[in-house]
Structure 1
């Protein structure tokens, strides 16, 4: 598994997040694009922006940013993958949604924002702890005093990965299976996405990630001048408990 992670992490962002990946991110009306998924996130982010401008790290194909703009929030995006940007541009112009191509850990955007947000586990695309810390610092550099940084992230469930078990099946749906392997020493994870139709052939996509514990995430925030303001299990504001499989964490920059 470690060798596979090394090979994948050596790929460029355009190779990892290519046209096929960009296509798979857009599932209008269902999956991650279902109204019951996107709607609560957009409403919560609009409220947290408080009428000010927002910056989305790793804006992707605009799954959240485009409806947030329609909600009346001025959004700018940072995105490294050119295929993702091309797909976004099919749906929103540069005037409607400006996007700067670059790394969310280091790229600077002109202006000052009231909200920076990073959704759908994407901070895990940064494959080292140092890069994840720099992502927090980059968020702080873009925020006005008292501004917020919001992260949506899954909670690693190592109870499903006892010693000797090399992988866990995370999703089984018609035409799709998601399998995760984890290196608990390095906090490395590879997601294997199997997609198939009516025939006997299947397509495999792979992506490397570094998973983060909630307490580790909080320490990253403290290093960048943030305090944890709130944490929920989901965008609807459900309580975060020891059984939660994900969280939405809101960090507030010192004023």
Structure 2
């Protein structure tokens, strides 16, 4: 990291929405927002790693009181500049430890953001932090990939996730530590290139369930996607819902 914005500094924030345009498409956003609104009910929702508001803004537009925790001021500023952004409160800080005001019926982490916490301890701390924010009976939702290790033959540690005319993306894995990094290479029409890399820690569904139990939560539902498709051994991602124990 080079500044207080972590890996999402001003140059990244300035092009973030464009670089992840597929995730802003209605078919990616609307099913997630519908499920989250259902789980929030009449209560408040807390988004960890709220970013530029891809999910928070349409969720707030449905009448849900949304608050976010975000480490990057550059990303949070993009959220505030959007229509409706002034209605979404943001606490600047590390979502594994930062405390937002009030309590919530729903907390959620989307788009693999749990993996931005690059140690197991930090991921455990995140679950405990969520439990402190939730009301009894409240839910915590995580959308995250299933580690794509079946695509790694012996001796290989790299998996491409995007190969295009002017952009290349690939992940590298360390199977001993569960560390991984995503690398992005882009070449413009005039031949200029850029490179961006961000570290992650991949995490298994069963490991997340144990983290939840340590924080006083139990698994309630697990699907492959926001449309509630059944989760199977072939699923490459999951949307999991844990519930905090009622008093």
The TM-score normalised by the length of structure 2 is 0.94
Partner residue, 1:4 = none
- What are the Cα deviations for residues 138-195 of structure 1, in whole angstroms up to 9, with x where unaligned? 0000010000000000000111112211311012245432100000100000100122
C-alpha displacement of 1:95:
4.4
Contact residue 57 and residue 84 of structure 2 kept, 8 A: no
1:240 aligns with 2:226: no
Please report how far the alpha carbon of residue 25 of structure 1 lies from its aligned counterpart in structure 2 after TM superposition: 2.4
**Equivalent residues, number:** 246
Tell me the CA shift for residue 29 of structure 1: 9.8
Does residue 152 of structure 1 match 2:160?
Answer: no
Give the alignment of 1:1-255 within 5 angstroms. 11-12=2-3, 14-27=5-18, 30-92=21-83, 95-255=86-246
Give, in whole Å, the separation in 2 of the partners of 1:233 and 1:225.
Answer: 24
Q: CA deviation at 1:215?
A: 0.5
Unmatched segments (≥5 aa) in structure 2: none
Further displaced range: 94-103 or 54-63 = 94-103
Secondary structure at the counterpart of residue 165 of structure 1: coil
Q: 1:134 to 1:209 in 2, by over 3 A?
A: same
How far is the alpha carbon of 1:28 from its aligned partner?
Answer: 9.5
Tell me if structure 2 keeps the 8 A contact 1:154–1:247: yes
Mind listing any 5+ residue stretches in structure 1 that lack a counterpart? Answer: 1-9
SS in 1 for 2:11: helix
Taking structure 1 as the reference length, the TM-score comes to 0.92
| CA displacement, residues 22-73 of structure 1 (integer Å, 9 cap, x when unaligned) | 1332139941101110111111100111121100011011111011101111
Distance 1:15 1:54 in 2: 24
> Structure 1 residues 13, 181: closer, same or farther in 2, change over 3 A?
farther
Helix, strand or coil: the match of 1:109?
A: coil
**Equivalent-residue separation in structure 2 for 1:13 and 1:184 (angstroms):** 29
Q: 1:29/1:162 Cα in 2 relative to 1: closer, same or farther (>3 Å)?
A: closer
